[in-house]
């Protein structure tokens, strides 16, 4: 038979970038540099928040978890991408591919939930400043983070089981940088309607639900800012949300392009470029966004360096 059920085979073959072998070494060095900057920047952010007492606030507590997730998020995919570039392709066992998919979905989902919680934190700070201390208590912060981790675990478990109970046939080559949903769906055959519905439903519960929470929070924030009489006061208040809004726009913009659109008519090359952006570039940019646009972080960093 020309078609072959890959659930009985032992591996998938990642073949991204193998069509341009002359670009492998420059890309390897570039992504290695980006990955090292990502590790250094996010680890530095976590340490800075832990050692500086001025940053022991709910917003920076959530930011430290976001930075930790960015380290885990990129570490699931970037080393694998470097191996593909260095070896001109890589073989992944079926179990390893499923594990990578689970971890990537787990950390990515937590990132979404944390960004939504941070939007709520900004809403309380701007719209309910007198209640901020009583609402965002240490117990509440721990509860929010624990809820994000628990929801991410549940979502990743359901999506992984649904994705890897699909029937695969034809080639086992994946022209991608890691085991992600769009390239895996291109290998499916047979009746996969039920699994795809489950995958889509849980995607809706993660991405659009978090976006809705963020949009509602910022709608109230904008209304509160518009009621401030002075332009200087409005600018100062909005500046406290600018870093978070920038990070949200970058992260959710790429996720929408990848996962909430019709996959027909889109090439894996386009998906590969977007995947490189949100798995390597965005985790590198987040500590820069929150440090360069935040006076408290810059002052804390200056104090540590001195």
Task: Give how far Cα 147 sits from Cα of 1, 6, 36, 69, 143, Å.
Answer: 48, 36, 30, 15, 6
Q: What is the pLDDT of residue 6?
A: 42
Structural domain harbouring 145: 12-298
Residue 101 belongs to a domain: yes
Q: What is the pLDDT of residue 35?
A: 95
How many domains would you assign to the chain? Answer: 1
Residue 139 belongs to a domain: yes
Residue 7 belongs to a domain: no
pLDDT tens track for 8-49: 556 788 877 777 777 888 889 999 999 999 999 999 999 999
Exposed, middle or buried by CB within 10 Å (0-12, 13-18, 19+), for 81? buried
Residue 6 belongs to a domain: no
CATH number assigned to the domain comprising residue 241? 1.20.1070.10
Residue 1 belongs to a domain: no
Residue 303 belongs to a domain: no
Residue 233 belongs to a domain: yes
The gap from C-alpha 44 to its chain's centroid, in whole angstroms, comes to 19
Residues of the chain with pLDDT under 70: 1-10, 170, 190-193, 259-268, 293
């Amino acid at each position: 038979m020309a078609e072959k059920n890959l659930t009985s085979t032992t591996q998938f073959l990642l073949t991204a970038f193998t069509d341009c072998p002359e670009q492998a070494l420059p890309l390897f060095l570039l992504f290695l540099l980006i990955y090292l900057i990502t590790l250094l920047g996010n680890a530095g952010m976590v340490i800075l928040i832990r050692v500086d007492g001025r940053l022991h606030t709910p917003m920076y507590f959530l930011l430290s978890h976001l930075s930790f997730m960015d380290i885990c998020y990129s570490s699931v995919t970037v080393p694998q991408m470097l191996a593909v570039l260095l070896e001109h392709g890589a073989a992944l066992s079926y179990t390893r591919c499923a594990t990578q998919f689970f971890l990537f979905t787990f950390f990515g989902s937590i990132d979404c939930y944390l960004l939504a919680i941070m939007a709520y934190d900004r809403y309380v700070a701007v719209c309910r400043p007198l209640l901020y201390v009583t609402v965002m208590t240490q117990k509440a912060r721990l509860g929010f983070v624990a809820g994000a981790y628990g929801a991410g675990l549940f979502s990743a478990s359901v999506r992984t089981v649904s994705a890897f109970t699909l029937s695969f046939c034809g080639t086992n080559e994946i022209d991608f940088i890691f085991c992600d949903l769009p390239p895996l769906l291109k290998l499916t055959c047979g009746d996969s309607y039920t699994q795809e519905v489950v995958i889509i439903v849980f995607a809706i519960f993660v991405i659009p639900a978090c976006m809705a929470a963020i949009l509602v929070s910022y709608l109230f924030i904008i209304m509160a800012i518009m009621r401030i009489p002075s332009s200087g006061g409005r600018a100062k208040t909005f500046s406290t949300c600018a870093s978070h809004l920038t990070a949200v726009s970058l992260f959710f913009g790429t996720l929408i392009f990848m996962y909430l659109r019709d996959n027909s008519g889109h090439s894996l090359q386009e998906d590969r470029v977007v995947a490189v952006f949100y798995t390597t570039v965005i985790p590198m940019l987040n500590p820069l966004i929150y440090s360069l646009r935040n006076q408290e972080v810059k002052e804390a960093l200056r104090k540590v360096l001195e």
